[in-house]
Amino acid sequence: MSALNAKALDQNTLTSIPALLNQADAILIGAGAGLSAAAGINYLDQDKFAQVFPGWVKKGFTAQYQLMGYPHWTQLEQWGYYKAHLEYVYFGQDDNQLYRQLRRAVADKDYFVMTSNVDGLFYKNGFDKNRFYSPQGDYGKIQCTTPCSDQVWDIRPFLDQMEAYYDADEQVLTDEIAIPRCPNCGGEMFIHARIDGSFIDSVHEPERIKLIDWLNQVADKQLLLLDLGSGFNTPTVIRMPMEQITMSLPNANLIRVNLDHAEVPAKLATKAIGIEADLNEFIEVLTAS
């Protein structure tokens, strides 16, 4: 598929962004990992890793990315790490400047959010959870890995139960009694995030239906799609749907912003622009407009 090269955040682009935003009746935000990375949740950031996970630095690790899908640990090590990880990534981000700035930019526009991120940063920073589709999961939930049912639970009580058995220096659990077990069947549990076939999709079906209903409601309106930080790790979740929606709706326009892979398909030449820029800079421009 041919593609149009991304533009820099130059004066011409700066002029076009406010016009598109002001003309929009509705905004669909599609967010990938690049948005949370720009907001400070960067799984490659070695300095932040050393600050937040000193126990794991002692074990030879240098970044969170190394522990994604890591197979060579015990459950005590795994859950000790994820306790620290969730306290930082999920429960420690209630006042994230970039997400709050994005919320101010949207202002009183009719909006909806779909994201591949599971960190909850949108609804923790002013976005309406009823206008939110998160098909890859939610760090605030935990599920049975069998799974024995379609049920998910709030993860906070499970983390609280670990506290008495948590070695804060080594960032590991010290007793298997603290490892989460399914309240229904007693089986193993894991964070409600899509990592394998055990993921419970049905939890997010109501969100998907709300998104479809919303798109039908705004189908004839001026719709601005903001594709923020999506790449090619899971392009079928955000990147491709944003392109398909732009193509299918007559009054839709797409702005794609990323430091990498900001290009847009040539077939969307009259409806889309790609901007190669830091998302902090772009969202500052949005807020100013």
Tokens 């605030």: give the residue.
140
Residue 182 among known ligand-binding residues: yes
Residue 107 among known ligand-binding residues: no
> What are the CA-CA distances from residue 153 to residues 22, 76, 182 (Å)?
40, 21, 9
Q: What is the DSSP letter of 150?
A: S
Helix (H) or strand (E) holding 121: helix 121-124
Question: 180: cis peptide before it, omega within 30°?
Answer: no
Q: Which residues contact 217 (CB under 8 A, 6 or more apart)?
A: none
What does the alpha-carbon distance between residue 227 and residue 32 come to, in Å, rounded to a whole number?
A: 8
Residue 185 among known ligand-binding residues: yes
What does the alpha-carbon distance between residue 115 and residue 208 come to, in Å, rounded to a whole number?
A: 11
Q: Which residues are annotated as a binding site?
A: 144, 148, 182, 185
Q: Which residues are annotated as a binding site for Zn(2+)?
A: 144, 148, 182, 185
